[in-house]
């Protein structure tokens, strides 16, 4: 059963969600099929026990049809019906968590049934909930649009518009304004997403009316609408990257309004600010400091996590940045505090690699190699970078014989690997090539060292700063030895 859709679905739920699903399935309003309950109870028990043993379809069949031969099609139909109920349960959970949505549907129902005694109370409830809603993202304005539209219908203005007493209740401006706020916000949000993806892969970016929408969004009346103001400023950081004021204005908007957005949208917004700093990382240390502050804010607000997990890529990016800033104590504490939030599939590799990276930057080289040797070679994301660090660590430890052997085996691996794209493969091969030149005994004069420096500068290579640093050290050493010999 563990390979069936229904088992995989149930095993993805938390203990609290299973409790709620049990009550949901036991309610005759949602489910009147006792056979589905028996299947559910057996699978739920298996999941809660965390048992390694599986249960067969025939074993469950005997619980619901003790005197009948197993019928696969009939059993699969029951499992499909149970899965349908599970999916309906998930939708119900989303509905239950959005009281504004509920109030809006109540307005619709009251209007359709023309239950006059509920007119005032349902309107008051909807308006009150809309005002109290903490989420002020673009969806907030869509809910307001829906509410205002249903209030308009509920007041039956179409049939009573001739009466002067109803004129004050006409809310057409509110309907249209909220629809505009929602539409402009969403259009800007997805256009910004398109611009972001275009940095990776060329996509069709000709969106209908986008220039007109951007022009409209710049009007003063929209500056107080948080999603419009934020996405317009994100757009500005894309089209005018060199204007640092765009970033400062975006940062101020984030400080003032980020808490108004649901977590998934807040994550996208702060990632736009993060990506701006990443794009400018090599221009000034100020961008590194800003990026560090944004990462800390993302951790503090818990918006950096997806399904309560931090991705190994984000984990590594944060550590790489903080080590560049020489925040060694903070980095070590970060690894201790947040390694438990890594997916178990990546945790061991990630911790070993990043602890090795920390020791490397602290120049505690003897602790680096044992940790890197634990990083799985097949895990290219950490595996390749760990090999690059091993190269520089062997060099720093003056393990030239071991380094020479390692360079040969690493070059062979890169040459055979078909999964790496050519540009990335070349950058690692260049690291091998330039490291070999660093340990070449014929690299013994200023001219050769200057040529090596220029070659490194002009090539795409992993570890370029380290290679240039070692060339400079060799030049200084060569000059010192030259002066001594001339005395």
Q: What is the pLDDT of residues 70-84, one digit of tens each?
A: 899 999 999 999 999
CB-based contacts of 338: which residues, under 8 Å, 6+ apart?
299, 310, 315
Average pLDDT over residues 462-487: 82
pLDDT of residue 5: 92
Secondary-structure percent of the chain, ordered helix, strand, coil, rounded to 5: 75, 0, 25
Average pLDDT over residues 436-465: 89
* Mean pLDDT score of the chain: 87
Query: What 8-state DSSP symbol labels residue 1?
Result: -
For the cut 80, the answer to whether the pLDDT of residue 352 exceeds it is yes
pLDDT in tens, 93-102: 988 888 887 8
For the cut 60, the answer to whether the pLDDT of residue 203 exceeds it is no
pLDDT of residue 199: 61
Q: Tell me the C-alpha distance between 135 and 110, whole Å.
A: 26
First to last CA, the chain: 84
Name the residue ranges covered by the structural domains of the chain: 5-96, 100-180, 305-398, 399-487
pLDDT in tens, 56-72: 889 889 988 888 898 99
Confidence of residue 478 (pLDDT cuts 50, 70, 90): confident
How is 30-54 classified by DSSP, letter by letter? Answer: T---HHHHHHHHHHHHHHHHT-SS-
pLDDT of residue 282: 82
Task: Check: CB of residue 10 under 8 Å from CB of residue 86.
Answer: yes
Which residues is 306 bridged to in the sheet?
Answer: 309
For residues 269 and 440, which has the higher predicted lDDT (pLDDT)?
269
Q: Which of 18-32, 267-281, 305-319, 366-380 has the lowest mean pLDDT?
A: 366-380
Q: How large is the C-alpha radius of gyration of the chain?
A: 31
Q: Which of 442, 439, 443, 444 is nearest to 482 (CA)?
A: 444
Q: Tell me the C-alpha distance between 207 and 186, whole Å.
A: 12
pLDDT of residue 372: 92
Confidence of residue 111 (pLDDT cuts 50, 70, 90): confident
Confidence of residue 106 (pLDDT cuts 50, 70, 90): confident
Q: Tell me the C-alpha distance between 471 and 236, whole Å.
A: 41
For the cut 80, the answer to whether the pLDDT of residue 197 exceeds it is no
Q: How far is CA 269 from the centre of its chain?
A: 11
Confidence of residue 400 (pLDDT cuts 50, 70, 90): very high
Average pLDDT over residues 7-20: 91
Average pLDDT over residues 440-445: 76
pTM of the model: 0.76
What proportion of the chain, given as a percentage, has pLDDT over 70?
92
Q: Tell me the C-alpha distance between 137 and 265, whole Å.
A: 8
Confidence of residue 365 (pLDDT cuts 50, 70, 90): very high
pLDDT of residue 56: 86
Q: Can you say whether the dihedral through the CA atoms of 14, 17, 23, 27 is positive or negative?
A: negative
């Amino acid at each position: 059963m563990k390979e069936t859709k229904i088992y995989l679905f149930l095993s993805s739920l938390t203990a609290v969600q299973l409790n709620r699903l049990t009550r949901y399935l036991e309610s005759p309003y949602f489910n009147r099929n006792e056979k589905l309950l028996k299947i559910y109870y057996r699978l739920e028990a298996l999941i809660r026990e965390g048992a390694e043993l599986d249960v067969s379809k025939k074993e469950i069949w005997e619980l619901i049809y003790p005197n009948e031969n197993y019928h696969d099609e009939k059993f699969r139909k029951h499992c499909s019906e149970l899965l349908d109920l599970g999916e309906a349960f998930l939708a119900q959970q989303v509905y239950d968590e959005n009281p504004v949505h509920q109030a809006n549907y109540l307005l619709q129902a009251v209007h359709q049934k023309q239950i006059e005694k509920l007119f005032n109370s349902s309107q008051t409830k909807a308006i009150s909930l809309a005002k109290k809603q903490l989420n002020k993202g673009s969806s907030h304005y869509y809910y307001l649009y829906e509410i205002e539209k249903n209030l308009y219908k509920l007041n039956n203005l179409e049939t009573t518009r001739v009466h002067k007493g109803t004129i004050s209740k006409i809310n057409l401006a509110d309907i249209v304004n909220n629809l505009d706020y929602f539409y402009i916000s969403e259009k800007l949000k997805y256009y910004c997403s398109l611009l972001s993806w275009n940095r990776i892969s060329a996509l069709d970016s000709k969106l209908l009316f986008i220039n007109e929408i951007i022009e409209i969004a710049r009007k003063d009346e929209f500056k107080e609408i948080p999603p419009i103001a934020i996405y317009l400023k994100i757009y500005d950081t894309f089209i005018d990257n060199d204007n640092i004021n765009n970033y400062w204005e975006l940062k101020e908007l984030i400080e003032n309004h980020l808490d108004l957005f649901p977590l998934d949208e807040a994550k996208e917004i702060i990632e736009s600010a993060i990506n701006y700093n990443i794009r400018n990382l090599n221009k000034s240390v100020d961008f590194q400091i800003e990026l560090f502050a944004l990462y800390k804010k993302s951790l503090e607000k818990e918006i950096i996590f997806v399904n309560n997990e931090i991705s190994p890529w984000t984990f590594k990016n944060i550590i790489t940045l903080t080590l560049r800033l020489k925040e060694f104590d903070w980095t070590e504490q970060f690894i201790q505090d947040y390694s438990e939030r890594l997916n178990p599939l990546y945790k061991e590799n990630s911790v070993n690699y990043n602890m090795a990276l920390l020791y490397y930057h602290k120049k505690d080289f003897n602790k680096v190699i044992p940790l890197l040797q634990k990083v799985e070679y097949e895990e290219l994301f950490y595996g390749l970078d760990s090999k690059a660090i091993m190269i520089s660590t062997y060099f720093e430890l003056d393990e030239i014989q071991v380094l020479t052997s390692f360079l040969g085996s690493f070059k062979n691996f890169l040459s055979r690997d078909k999964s790496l794209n050519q540009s990335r493969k070349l950058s690692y091969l260049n690291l091998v090539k330039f490291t070999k030149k660093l340990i070449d005994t014929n690299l013994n004069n200023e001219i050769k060292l200057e040529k090596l420096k220029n070659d490194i500068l002009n090539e795409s290579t992993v570890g370029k700063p380290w290679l240039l640093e070692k060339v400079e050290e060799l030049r200084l050493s060569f000059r010192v030895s030259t002066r001594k010999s001339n005395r």
